[in-house]
Structure formats: C-alpha cells, structure tokens
A and B are shown apart, each in its own frame.
Chain A
Amino acid sequence: MSAVEVVGLGVRAGAATLIEDVSLVVERGTWCTVIGPNGAGKTTLVETIAGLRRAHAGTVTIEGEDVARLGERRRATRVALVPQHPVVPPGMSVADYVALGRTAYHGLLRAPSGADRRVVEGVLERLDLARLAGRDVATLSGGERQRAVLARALAQSTRVIVLDEPTTGLDLRHQVALLELLRTEVAECGLCVVATLHDLTLAGQFADRLVLVDAGRVVLEGPSREVVRSAELARSYQMDLRVVDVDGADVVVPAHRGLTAR
C-alpha cells in the first residue's frame, strides 16, 4: 500500500477548474515535491491531499483510506498540514502551540494525556525547541516560528505530512535547516512528505521525486534529477533555465538576459 495515492483528481472553484485529472503515487518513507509556476495548482493539490478541499472528480487515499470519507478528527491522525501562511496566535506558549497537534487524539473535552505530553516533549526536543517551550509563540523569529509549525504537524504523529511552501520568508540558511530537519524525519521515522517549493534547486536536492504541474495538470513526474534537467521544466516556466552541477548537486539558474550579457 502506498502512503498517498491520487487518482484522476479534479478540483473546481465555482466555474474555474483549478486542477484536472491529476494522478500520482507517493511511497512510504519518500519525499515528493510539487513544483510549477504561480497559479499552476500546487496549493490546491496539496490542500486536497490534506483533505481541506473537496474534489469534484477522482480520489485521494492516504494509507488506503479515502480522505474525503474520513471525519475531521480521524483525518488529522492520518495527514498533517504545514500551511503556507500559518496563523500564529499571540499569547500562546510554544509548548501549547505544538500541543495543538494532539487535539485529534485527546478530543475537545479532555486534557492531553501523559502519552500526548510525551509526544509533544519528544518533538520539542528533536526540533531543538525545548528551550523555547515557555516562550510566546508570536515572539519567535521567522526560523523558530516555522520550526514550531513543523513541530505541531509532527506532533500529529501522522505517516504523511503535507507542506505548502514551508520555507516562505526564511533566509537561505534557515530554509536549508528546515528542509534538513524534515529529511531526518523521513529517513528516521519513515515519514512520507508531500511538499510544494518555489526554489527549484532546493526542490531537486531534497525530494526523491518531483511532480511538475502547470495549468492544473501534471506535466512530468519522475526522479528529481530527471525532472530538473528536463525540457518540460523550462517550457512550463516559460524561460531559459540552466542546470549547473556543483559537486554532484544540481543547481538550477535562470538564464535571463543580464546573465548571458556578462
């Protein structure tokens, strides 16, 4: 059984078709990143995989269960989401914020159990947030805040985690640090990651497979190295892209006019 299976997925908003006939499979313990130009349907795709949007056609199954048929509470124990622009409530401690990830386990009328608290403590420890546990989450720096959001998603103890542009607003060092944290979780805990990323270099370096979407459809899907070096990538972004090998890693650079003139 694959961790995520998307079959013939179509999502509409009013009369507009946002994605159409999208199919993809993500295996356990692997990382799949969705890339594509603005408006391609990346966010719609990952939000539908996370069960937050209704599809008009096709299905999304997580570990064999149809996401559309899962109740909210059950779904939250199967797939976790790191949104592009998380709402950070002022006045909430980092520990309480991360503990929100356990809501589906203890319910709305009961306090977190000892097991819930141990999961939260473990995640805080792993993500180097334990020293910040008592801090107001709204006072964290951008990098710390994004780690707290990731910690909340990891506290959901799901096999699948969906991230929509998790590196938005972070400097390069913090982008890499966050993605490395995630890669450790994939390698050590067998997590399945479905993410969207704008940075094609980072997307290629951290994902096992890339899915290139454009105008709501999958253009190309395959191992990261192949997709990054494909002609379809440049065509979708409507620009000349160069791939440079730096110590065995692919670096994608735009070959715009200023670059070629020099």
Chain B
Amino acid sequence: MNDRLPSRRRVAAVAAGCVVALLAAVLCGLAIGPTPIPAGRIAGALLAGIGLGHSTLSPLASTIVWQIRAPRMVLGLLVGAMLAVAGGTYQGVFRNPLADPYLLGVAAGAGLGATIAIADVGGGLTTPSWTPALAFVGALVAVVLTWAVGGRGLHSGTSTLILAGVAVASLLTSAQTYLQQRASTDSLARVYIWLLGSLASASWHSVVLVVPYVVVCAAVCVAAGRALDVMSVGESESRSLGLPVARVRLIVIAASSLGTAAVVSVAGLIGFVGIIVPHLVRLLAGTSYRRILPLSVVAGAAFLVLCDTVARTVMAPSELPLGVVTAVVGAPVFVLVLSLRRRVVA
C-alpha cells in the first residue's frame, strides 16, 4: 500500500523552501516600491547591518528602506507568522481542519472595537487613533466572553466552546453592523478599509507594540507542538497517555488568542493566512504539529509580506486591501498544491 508519510528529505526540502521564501519576501518588501532600489544594494545594506561589508545605499534610499519599508515589512512578518501559527494551533487543539484564528470571536470583537473608535459613536469620547487599543480590547473581551459561555467545553470536548464562539461572534458582529449603519459615509469607508486588513499604518512604534506578544505567544504555540500531536488521538486517550488536556487547552488557546488579538489590532482583519498556511505546510510536510507550527511561522511571515508587496504595488499609488490579496493569491496556490498532492498520493 502506498504510504502518505513524507520522508525526512522532503521535510528538509520544505523547510529550506520556507526559508528561501522568507528571504525573498524580506528582499521584495524592502526593494519594491515607487522608488526602485536594486535588491543587490538592499542585500548589501542588510549584510552591513550585521557587520559584513558596507552599505552602498544613498541617504535618501536608506531613509526609504529603513524608515518606510522596513517597519512595514517587519510588521508583515510578525502578523503573518502569528496568524499562521495561531491557525495551526487552533486546528490542532480543536482537532478541526476548518478552525482559524478567528474561531472564538477575536475578529468580531476587534471589528466592533475598531468601529467604535473609527465611527466615533461615543460622541467625541473616542478618536480614530484609539483604533488599535479598542480593537485589542474588543478581541480579548470577545474571547473571554466565549470562554465564560462555553468554558465547560474545556473539560468535555470542544464543541461547546466552538458554538459559544459562533454565538459571541454573531452578537458582536450585529452590534458592529448597527454602529456602521449609523456612521457617516466617510467613517464607514474607513471601517471597511480596516476590516479588510492593511499594513499601511505600520511604523516602528507599532512593531515595538506587537513584538512582545508575537514572540511570546508564537513561542508557546510552537512549544505546544508535541502536546498537540498527542491530542490527535482524542481527549480521553490523550489523558490516559498522561496529557493534562484541560490545562494544555487553556494555555494554547490563551496564547493563540492573545497573539491574534495583538496583530489584528494593528493590521485589521486579514483573512485566509491562518487557514491556508498551516494547511499548505501540512500538505507538504506531514501532519505532525512539531513540523506544522514552526514551518507555519516562517511560511506565514513570508506569505504575508509577499502579499503585502502585491497589495501596495499593483495599483500604486493606491493600495489593494491586504485581505483581498491573501485570498486571491492564496486560494489558487492552495488548490494547486491540493491537486498535485492528490495526484502524488494516487
């Protein structure tokens, strides 16, 4: 019988491919834009940054690269890595291939928070500059609410928690829709732009804000890979194998939700990354979460920066919504890999 298990060599090749994609994404993110800067010079400047050789960038080019493009590229890396690893973690902990980072209401909560800030429903109490803070708070409130409603699910399967997530998301989305209806046309447009996701407002400040969340939360998710592999035999069997299921669930759901809330608060609701990247990695490198999660970090980071490069260049000087690009670029790639793999297995 044909085996579906990927060989070590194949896993190594996939890992190498992810790293190459990441390097390519970094170079594209820094080199491509209204002012063309040769990739060779960017590479030289990057190497100079770690003490190898010296940079040949002009002062203007240097400012463009380090103050405009680099923060956006770095934020893209962080957002992509976090969304992908959170998606993979959710798929493992809920043993559900359709799970994505927004499963427990993070997106709906963040959307409501952002709408409150942008649409100024507080009658001057809130300002658009509060958007990240209110989106972050909204996302966390949503998850905590889901937890409070469906928390029993932590001890008896996860379906209660998922259903609670659906209910909370519907409630918060309807509240957000109501506010949107009452908003002015101008702020409505800005709400839509936020909802579709964008890295346009990236700065070193937003990078610094998000870095600690992403580093800690992604590290916890990656470290949970072995536990998620054990969990793949179901709740009662993993308990009999010595896994403290309820505690592991609590920790990994908290980490992936917190990390997702942080990146959503600065980048808006970028869909598709959290579901497509872990699945792509799974198709190519096998079903073990010890491989899926670390590779998703790298692949997710590369994927989002490449998508963002497309988003800000194809219709320059205006930008495409990042969520649209991730879906348009991601879906065909996903279908292609799916059909190729089916042929290989057959």
State the A residues within 8 Å of B (CB).
47, 50-52, 71-77, 80-81, 83, 86-93, 96, 100-101, 103-104, 108-109, 134-136, 139, 152, 156
Contacts and interface: CB of A to CB of B under 8 A. Distances in A.
A128 to B, nearest CB: 18
B128 interface: no
Given A52-B240, A72-B243, A139-B3, 15 more contacts: A51-B240, A71-B244, A72-B242, A73-B242, A76-B240, A76-B241, A87-B233, A91-B288, A92-B229, A92-B232, A100-B233, A103-B230, A103-B242, A108-B243, A139-B1
B173 interface: no
A81 B241 CA distance: 8
A81 B3 CA distance: 28
B3 A134 contact: yes
Interface in B1-48: 1, 3-5
Contacts of B223: 109
A135 B3 CA distance: 6
Contacts, number: 83
B242 to A, nearest CB: 3
Query: Among A47, A86, A108, which residue has the most Cβ atoms of chain B within 10 A?
Result: A108
Interface in B195-240: 223-224, 226-227, 229-230, 232-234, 236-237, 239-240
17 contacts: A52-B239, A71-B244, A72-B242, A72-B244, A74-B242, A75-B242, A87-B237, A88-B233, A92-B287, A100-B230, A100-B233, A103-B226, A108-B226, A108-B243, A108-B248, A134-B3, A136-B5
Contact of B288 (A92, A101, A139, A156): A92
A88 B234 CA distance: 9
Interface of B: 1, 3-5, 223-224, 226-227, 229-230, 232-234, 236-237, 239-245, 248, 286-288
Nearest to B227: A108
Contacts of A104: 241-242
B288 A83 contact: no
A89 B240 contact: no
B233 A81 contact: no
B305 to A, nearest CB: 29
